[in-house]
C-alpha cells in the first residue's frame, strides 16, 4: 500500500470542477508535458523549490543560510537549480514566505480527514471530491486506496484525467469507485499532440472511446482552449466531429489563463510557449459556433 | 515654544472675552435673551457652569440667573456641569469650534464633563446662535423632496417559480409568486419612489404635546401637590398625545395614520434622549450626513419651550442624580466601554398584536376595569387605571382617523373618476378605523390597519427604536384565509392574493414613515440604523408544526419588491420541518435584496431559549426584535438591546494595567504591568478576565439603575396593555409585569479579543518570539517600525481559520461571559441573556481603540457581529465551521454572522441559489444560529461611494441590521468594503 504521496495543493470550497461544493486535490506529476500546462508546478513528480520575486523583501537571509551556494543573485529567479539540494533551510529563514516548497506529502489517512471535514457541505450541495493535478492516475496505487476509503464514507468522487492511463489497471482499481470523469481531449492530430504534449494521442483516444462505450458512469470531455494550439478552427472542428460520432453532446471548454507563466517562472522553468492574453470575445463567439450542437458551459 | 505659550494665553483671554460677549448679547438682543428668560412662560434659565482644565490650571465659571449671564474667574460651588478640557492648549484650540462638532471632542477626550449633559448641549446651542447659526433655505413646513420622484432602484430581480404547494401553504399555487413585480402595483411603486425622494423632517408634535401635558398637570407632583403616580402621569400624557395628535391619511395610501405629523418624520422623546440634538437645531438641515428638515419655528419651540422642561426630567439625568453620579454611568459616558440603550429607549420588544387582532383593545380596557375593581391595592388600582386611560387614547386616535377619512372623502369630487375611486377607499378606511383596533378584526385589511394604528400609538409612548411587529405571517394568515373563503371563483381568489400583497406592501411603506433621531456625532460614530421595526416569518408554531404559510411568502414578496431598509426582515427556518424550497426562496430574496432577510436557525434558537428557562411552547413563538434578538411575542419584555459591551476595552485595560489608552485614565482594575507581571499566559488571561468581569458588573449596575429611572420617568402603561402578564400581575412591564423579564446583552468584537489572545499565547509565551515588553512597545506604537512583529502575527492561526485551538479559545471567552451575565439579575428580576452582534458599534468602538495584539491597527473597525477578521482565511468553509462550533446555548440573545459572498457573474441564478442555499443549510446543520449574506461586490460598493445619488436604494447588512449604504459614514462604508469577500472561483 502506497500510503503517502506528494500533493501540490488542496483546495476546499472548489466550485468549478464538478457539481456542488468540492475539495479539489492536486496531485504532483504527469505523464504528459503540455507546453501550456496551466499547473506547471504539478508536472514534475518531485518536490520543487519556488521563489516568488514579487513578495521578496530582499533581506537576503537565504543567501547566508544556503550552504550549497545555490542562491545566486545573477539569476533573475534567484536559485541555481543545479546546486540546490532542496534542504529547505532558505525557506525557514525567509520572513515573507517568498521561498516555498511545491509538493507536500500527505498520508491517505490525513488526506481523508481533511476531506471529511467538509462532508456536510458536500451532502447539502451534491458535491464531493475531485482528484486533479498533474495527473491523479500517475499515482494509481495511492489513488486506488484513497478512492476506496472515500467510497466507504459515501463521498462523491470525480477525477480529472489526461486519459493517458493503463486501461486494465484503471478499470480494475479505480473506475468502480468513481462517480464522474472529466476526460481531457486536447489535440486531435496525433503528430501535433506529440509536438505540444510530448506524447501521441492514440492511447488517449482509445481510452476515451472505450470508456464511452462502456457506459459505466458519466464522462464529460474537457477541451482546453489554448490559443493557436488547441483553439484552431481545424482542431476544434475535428474534435467536435469526433465527439458527435461518439454521440457525446456535453462538453466543458476551459478558457486559457496566462497566469500560469509566472507560476512556471517561480519554479525556475522558462516556458517554451508564451501567450499572455485572455480569451477575447470574438474568439469566444467563433468557438461557440463550432460547438453549437453541444451543451457547453459558460467559459 | 514661548510664542506658543503666549498664543495659548491669548486664546484663553479670547475665550473669556467670547463668554463676556455672549453675556452682553443676552442683555442686548431680545431674541437671544428669550433663551434664558422666556417672557411668555416666565421661565428663567438658572444654571451654573464651571469651565476648567484637567490640571486645574485654568478656571472660569458662568452663572445664569434672573435672565442674566455673568462670567468670572475661579471656581463656583455646585455647578450644574463642569466642562473640562485636557489642558489649556486644548481649550484654546477648541472653544470656538462649531456646535455641531462640540460633542465630537468628548470622544477623543479632548474635553469632558461632569454633571448634567443637557446643560452642555444647551450651552453648545447658545454658542451656535452667537456664531450666527441660522436655518437657511427653508421652504416650508412640509417635507422637502430631496430628489425627483423617479425609479432609482436598479436591481434586476430574478424569480424562480415553484408550481406546487409547500409547507403550510393553502392557497398560493406558486408560493414564490414569480408572476408579480412592482410594476403590477403602481401605487406601491409610486409611494416607494416617493419615499426615497423625501427628506425626513424633525417632528415636534409629540415633544410639544408631552411638554404641554406635564406643564399643565405636573410631573413630580400632581395638580393637588401630591406626588404624581408615574403610571397615572404617563398614561395621562400618552392619552393626551394620542387624542391631540393630528390624524393623517396621506394621499394614495391604503393605511391610515402616521407616526409623526410629517410625511417622513423624526419623532422626539425629550424625556429620553432628544436634548442631545440641541446643539444642532439650527444646522441639522444642512449637515453633510443625513440632514433633517426643521423649521425655524419648530427649532425655537424645542429650545424655548420643550427642552428646558426636560433638562432634569430625563432618564439619563434622573439616574445620575438619584444614584449620585455612579462610576458605572461615567464609564458609559466614556464611550469606549459600553453603550446603554436605555438612555435612548427601551422599546426593543414584540407587543402582543395577535391579541389585538383577535380580541380588540376594548377587551383590554374591560379587563383592566374589572381587575381595578377586584383589587384594593392602590398601586395596582393606579396601574389598571393607567392602562385604561392609555388604551382610551388609542381608541380616540383611531376615531379621529375615521373622521379624517370621511372629511377627506367629502372634500373630493365624486364626478372625477380618479377621485371617486379614492372616495371609496376613504370610506372603507373610515369604516375600518371606526372598528379596529377597538374591536377584533375580521378581514386582512382590518387586521393590517389594526396593527398599524396600534403601532403608531405605541410610538406615542415608546421611542422608535426597534419596537417590532413580530410574526406577521402567523397573525395575518387566518384573516387571509377568511378573505379567500369568500372568493366565488379562481379569478376572485387571484384578486384577493394580489390585494394581500398590496396591503402588506402598504403597511411596509407606512413602517418607513419615521426615522430615529440621530445627533451628528451618532452618525459619525455609528449610524445608518433605521428604527429597526422588525418583521419575522416562518419557523414552527407553538406545537412545533410547520408555520410557513401563504402569508410568509406574500410578505417576502412585498419586502423583495420594495427593497426598503424597514421592516428589517427576519426569517426563521426549521430544518427538517420547513421545506428546502422555502430556504431556497429566502436565499433568493436575499440575493435580490442584497442583504436581507436575515435567516435564523429555528432549532438552535428555540433550544437556547428553553435552556434559559422559557417553556418549549413559548420558545417556539419567538420573533426577532431589533437586529436578530429573540422575543416571545406578547409575553416577554426582554429589552434585547439593553447594552452593547466592547470586549476589547478590558483587553486594552489588561494591557495597560487598568488604564484605558484612549484617555490615559485609570478606569479599570490594577491587574499588573504587562511588561513584567505575567509569567504565564494564564496569568495574563486572568488579568483580562478580571477587567472584563469588572466592566460587565458595572454595565449590569448601570443598566439596572437606568431601568429604575425608567420606572419613574418613563413607565409604559400603554405597552403593558399589549402583553400577557402585566394585567394578571397588576404591574407595568417596566416593573417586571411580563411573563418573561430578561435583558439582552450584545458583546462586541469577540474575534478581536480571541485573535489577540491567540497571538499573545503563541508568540509571547509558547514560541517566545519576543517578550511582552517588546510587544507592548509595538502595540503602543501602532506597530510602526515593528513590521517583523506584524509579519509574525500574520502567521498565527486566528479564529475562523479552523486551526487547532482557535475555536477553543473563543469558546473559553464565550463561557466566561456567559457565567458573568448569567449570574446577575436585572431590575425586573429577570436574567441577562448574552448575544454576539454589534449593530454598527464595531466601527464606533474601533475608532476609539488603539492597536491590538491581533495586529489590527489603531482606529480601524473591529470585527462585526460574530465573524472572523478579514484575511483570516481565504476560504469560506472554516469560517462557517468555526462560528457554528461555538455553543449556541450560551448565546440566547443570538449572534450575527456576516458573510460577504458575491455570486459569480458567469453562474446561472439557479446555480447561485443551489450554492448559497447549501451554505446556509450546512451552517445550520452544524448548529450555526443566524446567517446574513451581503451579496454586493466591493466594486459595486466603491462605485456607490463615488456616485451616491445612483445608489440610494442599495442595502447592506452592517451587523444584524440593514442600512442604506449611501447613508453610512465613511468609516462604516470602508469597513463593509474591506470585509472579506468570498467569491466562488
Which secondary-structure segment (H or E) carries B123?
A: helix B117-130
Integer Cα distance of B468 and B39 in angstroms: 43
Looking at residue B286, its pLDDT comes to 83
* A25, A38: one domain: yes
Length of chain B: 985
* A252, A128: one domain: yes
**8 A C-beta contact, residue B834 and residue B891:** yes
> pLDDT band for position B110 (50/70/90)?
confident
* Number of Cβ pairs < 8 A linking chain A and chain B: 48
Q: For chain B, what is the mean pLDDT?
A: 93
Over residues B141-180, the pLDDT tens digits come to: 455 677 788 888 878 889 999 999 999 999 999 999 999 9
For the domain covering B2-130, report its CATH number.
Answer: 3.30.1050.10
Q: What is the CA radius of gyration of chain B?
A: 28
Residue A90 has pLDDT above 50, yes or no: yes
Average pLDDT over residues B281-300: 88
Looking at residue B932, its pLDDT comes to 84
Among A21, A117, A298, beta carbon nearest to B918: A21
Looking at residue B846, its pLDDT comes to 93
Average pLDDT over residues B507-514: 97
The whole-angstrom distance between B888's CA and the closest CA on chain A is 19
> pLDDT band for position B956 (50/70/90)?
confident
A288 in any annotated domain: yes
Average pLDDT over residues B572-587: 98
Percent of chain A with pLDDT over 90: 79
* A227, A163: one domain: yes
* A87, A165: one domain: no
Over residues B668-714, the pLDDT tens digits come to: 999 999 999 999 999 999 999 999 999 999 999 999 999 999 999 99
Out of A102, A125, A140, pick the residue that ends a domain: A102
Over residues B925-942, the pLDDT tens digits come to: 999 999 988 888 888 888
Integer Cα distance of B368 and B746 in angstroms: 36
Over residues B14-29, the pLDDT tens digits come to: 999 989 999 999 988 8
Quickly count: other Cβ atoms within 10 Å of residue B792's Cβ.
Answer: 18
Looking at residue B386, its pLDDT comes to 98
Looking at residue B100, its pLDDT comes to 62
Question: Torsions phi, psi of B534, nearest 5?
Answer: -95, 140
Enclosing domain of residue A94: 48-102
Integer Cα distance of B752 and B756 in angstroms: 6
Please give the model's pTM, rounded to 2 decimal places: 0.94
Integer Cα distance of B438 and B429 in angstroms: 14
φ/ψ region of B800 (left if φ > 0, alpha if ψ in -120 to 50, else beta) reads: left
Find the residue in A nearest to B982 (Cα).
A13
A65 in any annotated domain: yes
Set of chain B residues whose Cβ sits within 8 Å of the Cβ of A12: 875, 877-878
* A161, A231: one domain: yes
Residue A75 has pLDDT above 90, yes or no: no
Looking at residue B1, its pLDDT comes to 39
| B904 to A15: CB separation less than 8 angstroms, yes or no | yes
Residue B353 has pLDDT above 80, yes or no: yes
A271 in any annotated domain: no
Average pLDDT over residues B459-482: 97
* A187, A39: one domain: yes
Distances in Å between the Cα of B240 and the Cα atoms of B256, B393, B856 are 20, 7, 52
Cα separation of the two ends of chain A: 39
Which secondary-structure segment (H or E) carries A253?
A: strand A250-255
Looking at residue B984, its pLDDT comes to 52
Average pLDDT over residues B318-341: 94
- Whether ipTM tops 0.90, in short, is yes
On the CB side of B677, CA atoms within 13 Å amount to 16
Contacts of B64 (CB under 8 A, 6+ apart): B36, B45, B46, B47, B48, B49
Percent of chain B with pLDDT over 70: 97
What percentage of chain A's residues is helix, strand, coil (to nearest 5)? 35, 20, 40
Out of A76, A102, A128, pick the residue that ends a domain: A102
Spell out the long-range contacts of B19-24 with Cβ–Cβ below 8 A and sequence spacing 24 or more.
Answer: B19/B60, B19/B62, B19/B71, B20/B71, B21/B130, B22/B69, B22/B126, B22/B127, B22/B130, B23/B62, B23/B68, B23/B69, B23/B70, B23/B71
Find the residue in B nearest to A120 (Cα).
B922
| B918 to A125: CB separation less than 8 angstroms, yes or no | yes
How buried is B611 (Cβ within 10 angstroms: 0-12 exposed, 13-18 middle, 19+ buried)?
middle
Provide the number of structural domains found in chain A.
Answer: 2
* A92, A215: one domain: no
Question: Torsions phi, psi of A7, nearest 5?
Answer: -115, 145
Looking at residue B38, its pLDDT comes to 85
| B922 to A95: CB separation less than 8 angstroms, yes or no | no
A238 in any annotated domain: yes
The whole-angstrom distance between B803's CA and the closest CA on chain A is 12
Among B917, B918, B985, beta carbon nearest to A16: B985
**8 A C-beta contact, residue A26 and residue A132:** yes
Integer Cα distance of A40 and A38 in angstroms: 6
Cell of A265: 517562472
How buried is A214 (Cβ within 10 angstroms: 0-12 exposed, 13-18 middle, 19+ buried)?
exposed
Residue B790 has pLDDT above 90, yes or no: yes
Measured N-to-C along each axis, helices B444-461 and B230-244 cross at an angle, to the nearest 10 degrees, of 120
Residue B371 has pLDDT above 50, yes or no: yes
Average pLDDT over residues B70-98: 90
A212 in any annotated domain: yes
| B906 to A298: CB separation less than 8 angstroms, yes or no | yes
Looking at residue B955, its pLDDT comes to 87
Looking at residue B62, its pLDDT comes to 96
Residue B2 has pLDDT above 50, yes or no: no
Looking at residue B143, its pLDDT comes to 55
Cell of B206: 409629540
A20 in any annotated domain: yes
Over residues A127-180, the pLDDT tens digits come to: 999 999 899 999 999 999 999 999 999 999 999 999 999 999 999 999 999 999
Domain ranges of chain B: 2-130
Over residues A196-224, the pLDDT tens digits come to: 999 999 999 999 999 999 988 999 999 99
A158 in any annotated domain: yes
Contacts of B459 (CB under 8 A, 6+ apart): B259, B267, B467, B514
* A109, A89: one domain: no
Quickly count: other Cβ atoms within 10 Å of residue A292's Cβ.
Answer: 8
CATH at A93:
3.30.70.20
Out of A33, A67, A102, pick the residue that ends a domain: A102
* A67, A138: one domain: no
* A53, A179: one domain: no
Which residue is associated with the grid cell 539540494? A85
H helix count then E strand count, chain B:
38, 26
B59, β-bridge pairs:
B52
Which of helix, strand or coil describes residue B629? Answer: strand
Residue B985 has pLDDT above 50, yes or no: no
Set of chain B residues whose Cβ sits within 8 Å of the Cβ of A96: 791
Residue B140 has pLDDT above 60, yes or no: no
> pLDDT band for position B323 (50/70/90)?
very high
* A239, A251: one domain: yes
Question: Torsions phi, psi of B796, nearest 5?
Answer: -75, 130
Which residue is associated with the grid cell 511545491? A102
Distances in Å between the Cα of B426 and the Cα atoms of B400, B409, B421, B452, B827 are 13, 6, 9, 16, 46
Residue A267 has pLDDT above 70, yes or no: yes
Average pLDDT over residues B505-520: 94
* A31, A142: one domain: yes
Contacts of B326 (CB under 8 A, 6+ apart): B320, B701, B702, B705
CATH at A27:
3.20.20.70
Measured N-to-C along each axis, helices A108-116 and A140-152 cross at an angle, to the nearest 10 degrees, of 40
A139 in any annotated domain: yes
Amino acid at each position: 500500500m502506497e500510503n503517502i504521496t506528494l500533493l501540490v495543493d488542496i483546495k476546499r470550497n472548489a466550485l468549478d470542477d464538478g457539481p456542488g461544493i468540492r475539495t479539489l486535490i492536486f496531485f504532483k506529476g504527469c505523464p504528459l508535458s503540455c507546453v501550456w500546462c496551466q499547473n506547471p508546478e504539478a508536472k514534475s513528480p518531485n518536490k520543487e523549490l519556488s521563489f516568488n520575486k514579487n513578495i521578496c523583501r530582499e533581506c537576503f537571509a537565504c543567501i547566508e543560510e544556503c550552504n550549497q551556494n545555490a542562491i545566486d543573485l545573477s539569476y533573475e529567479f534567484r536559485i541555481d537549480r543545479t546546486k540546490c539540494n532542496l534542504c529547505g533551510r532558505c525557506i525557514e529563514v525567509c520572513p515573507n514566505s517568498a521561498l516555498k516548497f511545491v509538493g507536500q506529502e500527505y498520508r491517505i489517512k490525513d488526506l481523508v480527514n481533511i476531506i471529511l471535514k467538509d462532508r456536510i457541505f458536500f451532502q447539502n450541495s451534491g458535491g464531493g471530491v475531485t482528484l486533479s493535478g498533474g495527473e491523479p492516475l500517475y499515482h494509481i496505487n495511492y489513488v486506488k486506496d484513497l478512492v476506496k476509503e472515500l467510497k466507504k464514507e459515501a463521498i462523491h468522487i470525480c477525477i480529472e484525467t489526461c486519459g493517458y492511463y493503463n486501461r486494465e489497471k484503471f478499470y480494475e482499481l479505480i473506475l468502480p469507485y468513481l462517480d464522474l470523469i472529466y476526460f481531457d481531449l486536447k489535440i486531435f492530430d496525433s503528430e501535433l499532440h506529440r509536438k505540444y504534449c510530448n506524447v501521441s494521442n492514440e492511447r488517449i483516444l482509445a481510452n476515451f472511446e472505450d470508456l464511452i462505450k462502456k457506459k459505466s458512469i458519466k464522462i464529460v470531455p474537457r477541451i482546453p482552449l489554448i490559443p493557436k494550439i488547441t483553439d484552431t478552427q481545424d482542431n476544434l472542428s475535428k474534435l467536435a466531429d469526433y465527439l458527435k460520432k461518439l454521440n457525446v453532446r456535453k462538453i466543458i471548454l476551459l478558457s486559457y489563463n496566462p497566469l500560469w507563466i509566472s507560476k512556471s517562472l517561480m519554479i525556475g522553468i522558462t516556458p517554451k510557449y508564451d501567450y499572455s492574453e485572455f480569451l477575447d470575445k470574438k474568439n469566444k463567439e467563433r468557438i461557440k459556433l463550432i460547438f453549437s450542437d453541444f451543451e457547453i458551459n459558460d467559459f | 515654544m514661548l510664542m506658543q505659550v503666549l498664543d495659548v494665553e491669548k486664546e484663553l483671554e479670547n475665550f473669556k472675552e467670547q463668554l463676556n460677549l455672549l453675556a452682553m448679547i443676552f442683555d442686548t438682543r431680545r431674541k437671544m435673551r428669550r433663551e434664558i428668560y422666556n417672557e411668555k412662560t416666565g421661565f428663567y434659565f438658572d444654571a451654573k457652569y464651571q469651565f476648567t482644565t484637567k490640571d486645574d490650571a485654568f478656571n472660569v465659571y458662568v452663572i445664569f440667573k434672573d435672565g442674566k449671564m455673568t462670567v468670572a474667574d475661579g471656581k463656583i460651588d455646585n455647578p450644574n456641569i463642569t466642562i473640562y478640557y485636557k489642558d489649556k492648549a486644548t481649550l484654546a484650540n477648541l472653544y470656538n469650534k462649531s456646535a455641531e462638532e462640540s460633542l465630537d471632542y468628548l470622544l477623543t477626550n479632548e474635553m469632558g464633563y461632569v454633571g448634567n449633559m443637557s446643560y452642555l448641549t444647551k450651552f453648545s446651542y447658545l454658542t451656535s446662535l452667537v456664531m450666527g447659526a441660522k436655518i437657511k433655505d427653508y421652504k416650508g413646513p412640509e417635507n422637502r423632496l430631496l430628489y425627483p420622484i423617479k425609479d432609482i432602484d436598479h436591481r434586476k430581480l430574478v424569480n424562480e417559480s415553484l408550481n406546487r404547494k409547500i409547507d403550510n401553504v393553502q392557497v398560493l399555487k406558486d408560493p414564490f409568486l414569480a408572476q408579480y413585480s412592482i410594476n403590477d402595483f403602481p401605487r406601491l411603486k409610486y409611494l416607494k419612489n416617493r419615499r426615497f425622494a423625501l427628506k425626513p423632517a424633525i417632528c415636534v408634535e409629540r415633544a410639544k404635546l408631552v411638554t404641554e401635558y406635564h406643564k399643565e398637570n405636573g410631573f413630580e407632583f400632581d395638580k393637588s401637590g401630591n406626588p404624581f403616580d408615574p403610571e397615572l402621569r404617563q398614561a395621562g400624557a400618552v392619552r393626551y398625545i394620542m387624542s391631540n395628535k393630528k390624524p393623517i391619511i396621506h394621499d394614495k395610501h391604503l393605511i391610515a395614520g402616521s407616526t409623526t405629523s410629517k410625511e417622513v418624520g423624526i419623532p422626539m422623546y425629550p424625556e429620553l434622549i432628544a436634548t442631545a440634538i440641541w446643539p444642532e437645531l439650527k444646522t441639522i438641515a444642512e449637515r453633510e450626513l443625513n440632514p433633517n428638515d426643521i423649521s425655524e419655528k419648530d427649532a425655537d419651540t424645542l429650545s424655548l419651550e420643550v427642552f428646558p422642561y426636560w433638562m432634569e426630567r430625563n432618564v439619563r439625568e434622573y439616574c445620575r442624580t438619584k444614584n449620585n453620579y455612579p462610576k458605572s454611568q461615567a464609564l458609559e459616558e466614556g464611550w469606549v466601554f459600553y453603550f446603554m440603550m436605555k438612555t435612548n429607549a427601551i422599546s426593543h420588544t414584540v407587543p402582543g398584536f395577535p391579541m389585538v387582532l383577535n380580541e380588540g383593545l376594548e377587551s383590554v380596557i374591560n379587563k383592566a376595569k374589572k381587575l381595578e375593581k377586584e383589587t384594593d391595592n392602590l398601586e395596582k388600582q393606579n396601574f389598571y387605571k393607567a392602562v385604561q386611560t392609555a388604551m382610551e387614547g388609542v381608541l380616540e386616535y383611531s376615531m379621529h382617523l375615521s373622521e379624517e377619512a370621511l372629511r377627506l372623502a367629502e372634500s373630493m369630487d365624486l364626478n372625477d373618476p380618479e377621485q371617486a375611486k379614492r372616495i371609496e377607499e376613504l370610506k372603507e378606511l373610515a369604516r375600518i378605523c371606526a372598528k379596529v383596533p377597538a374591536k377584533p378584526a375580521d378581514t386582512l385589511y382590518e387586521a393590517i390597519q389594526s396593527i398599524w394604528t396600534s403601532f403608531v400609538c405605541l410610538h406615542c409612548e415608546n421611542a422608535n427604536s426597534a419596537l417590532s411587529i413580530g410574526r406577521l405571517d402567523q397573525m395575518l394568515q387566518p384573516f387571509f384565509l377568511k378573505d379567500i373563503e369568500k372568493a366565488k371563483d379562481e379569478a376572485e381568489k387571484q384578486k384577493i392574493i394580489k390585494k394581500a400583497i398590496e396591503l402588506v406592501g402598504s403597511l411596509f411603506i407606512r413602517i418607513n414613515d419615521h426615522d430615529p433621531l440621530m445627533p451628528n456625532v451618532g452618525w459619525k460614530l455609528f449610524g445608518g440604523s433605521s428604527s429597526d421595526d422588525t418583521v419575522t416569518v416562518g419557523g414552527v408554531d407553538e406545537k412545533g408544526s410547520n408555520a410557513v404559510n401563504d402569508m410568509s411568502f406574500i410578505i417576502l414578496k412585498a419586502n423583495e419588491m420594495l427593497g426598503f431598509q424597514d421592516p428589517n426582515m427576519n426569517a426563521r427556518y426549521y430544518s427538517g420541518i420547513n421545506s428546502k424550497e422555502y430556504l431556497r426562496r429566502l436565499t433568493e430574496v436575499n440575493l435580490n435584496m442584497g442583504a436581507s432577510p436575515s435567516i435564523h436557525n429555528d432549532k438552535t434558537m428555540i433550544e437556547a431559549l428553553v435552556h434559559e428557562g422559557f417553556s418549549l411552547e413559548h420558545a417556539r413563538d419567538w420573533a426577532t426584535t431589533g437586529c436578530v434578538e429573540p422575543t416571545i411575542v406578547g409575553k416577554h419584555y426582554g429589552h434585547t438591546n439593553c447594552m452593547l459591551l466592547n470586549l476589547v476595552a478590558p483587553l486594552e485595560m489588561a494591557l495597560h494595567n487598568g488604564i484605558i489608552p484612549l484617555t490615559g485614565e485609570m478606569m479599570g482594575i490594577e491587574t499588573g504591568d504587562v511588561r513584567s507581571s505575567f509569567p504565564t499566559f494564564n496569568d495574563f488571561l486572568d488579568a483580562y478576565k478580571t477587567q472584563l468581569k469588572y466592566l460587565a458588573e458595572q454595565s449590569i449596575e448601570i443598566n439596572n439603575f437606568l431601568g429604575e429611572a425608567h420606572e419613574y420617568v418613563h413607565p409604559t402603561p400603554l405597552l403593558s396593555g399589549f402583553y400577557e402578564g402585566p394585567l394578571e400581575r397588576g404591574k407595568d412591564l417596566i416593573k417586571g409585569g411580563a411573563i418573561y423579564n430578561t435583558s439582552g446583552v450584545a458583546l462586541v468584537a469577540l474575534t478581536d479579543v480571541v485573535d489577540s489572545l491567540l497571538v499573545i499565547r503563541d508568540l509571547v509565551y509558547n514560541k517566545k518570539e519576543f517578550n511582552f515588553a517588546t510587544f507592548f512597545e509595538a502595540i503602543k506604537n501602532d506597530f510602526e517600525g515593528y513590521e517583523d512583529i506584524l509579519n509574525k502575527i500574520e502567521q498565527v492561526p486566528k479564529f475562523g481559520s479552523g486551526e487547532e485551538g482557535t475555536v477553543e479559545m473563543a469558546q473559553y471567552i464565550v463561557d466566561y461571559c456567559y457565567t458573568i451575565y448569567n449570574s446577575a439579575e436585572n431590575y425586573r428580576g429577570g436574567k441577562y441573556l448574552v448575544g454576539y452582534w454589534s449593530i454598527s458599534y464595531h466601527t464606533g468602538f474601533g475608532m476609539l481603540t488603539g492597536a491590538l495584539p491581533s495586529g489590527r491597527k489603531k482606529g480601524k473597525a473591529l470585527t462585526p457581529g460574530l465573524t472572523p477578521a478579514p484575511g483570516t482565511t481565504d476560504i469560506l468553509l472554516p469560517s462557517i465551521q468555526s462560528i457554528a462550533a461555538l455553543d449556541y446555548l450560551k448565546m440566547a440573545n443570538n449572534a450575527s454572522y456576516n458573510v460577504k459572498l458575491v455570486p459569480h457573474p458567469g453562474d446561472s441564478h439557479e446555480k447561485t441559489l443551489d450554492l448559497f442555499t447549501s451554505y446556509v443549510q450546512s451552517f445550520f446543520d452544524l448548529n450555526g444560529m443566524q446567517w446574513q449574506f451581503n451579496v454586493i461586490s466591493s466594486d459595486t460598493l466603491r462605485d456607490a461611494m463615488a456616485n451616491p445619488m445612483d445608489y440610494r436604494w442599495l442595502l447592506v447588512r452592517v451587523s444584524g441590521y440593514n442600512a442604506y449604504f449611501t447613508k453610512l459614514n465613511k468609516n462604516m462604508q470602508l469597513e463593509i468594503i474591506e470585509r472579506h469577500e468570498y467569491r466562488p472561483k
